[in-house]
């Protein structure tokens, strides 16, 4: 899918965020390959007064992909777009990229994906976002 198409989907998803505490709405769009072609899922952050219960947009989008698969299969995520629609135009890259928890989710579920972050012009890879990602070998 085209970079701008995914970023537009992420921006649109961010408009549905529930962010009354941070007022920092984030949207994400994730794409996976299936035998039938590409499938996209979007998500927005949903905050909670008990901040630890907040769920980020990236995790909502990835979890949504799992709902589209047969039980037990892992999605082959190829692209992820993230948009923080409330980030100031002059915000540094650090204010636009996923949080640490989301980066670890991405390391587990989308290690080979191409990442598009609204406001960062170049495409990113997981090592750009999380250079030394924790990995647990599976048997």
Structure tokens at 65: 């992909």
Helix, coil or strand: residue 65: helix
Biggest alpha carbon–alpha carbon distance for the chain:
46
Residue 94 designated active-site = no
Annotated catalytic residue within 4, 15, 58, 121: 58
Query: What is the SS3 assignment for 111?
Result: coil
Q: Say which residues have a Cβ less than 8 Å from residue 79's Cβ, sequence separation at least 6.
A: 1, 6, 29, 30, 31, 113, 114, 115, 116
3 membership: H or E segment, kind and range: helix 3-14
The residues carrying an active-site annotation are 58
């Amino acid at each position: 899918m085209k970079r701008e198409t995914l970023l537009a989907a992420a921006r649109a998803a961010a408009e549905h965020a529930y962010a009354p505490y941070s007022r920092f709405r984030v949207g994400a769009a994730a794409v996976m390959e299936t035998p039938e072609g590409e499938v996209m899922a979007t998500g927005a952050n949903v905050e909670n007064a008990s901040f630890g219960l907040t769920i980020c947009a990236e995790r909502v989008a990835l979890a949504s992909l799992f709902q589209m698969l047969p039980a037990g299969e892992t999605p082959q995520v190829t692209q992820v777009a993230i948009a923080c629609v409330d980030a100031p135009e002059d915000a540094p890259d650090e204010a636009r990229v996923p949080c640490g928890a989301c980066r670890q989710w991405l390391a587990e579920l989308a290690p080979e994906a191409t990442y598009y972050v609204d406001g960062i012009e170049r495409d990113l890879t997981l090592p750009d976002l999380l250079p030394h990602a924790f990995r647990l070998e599976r048997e």
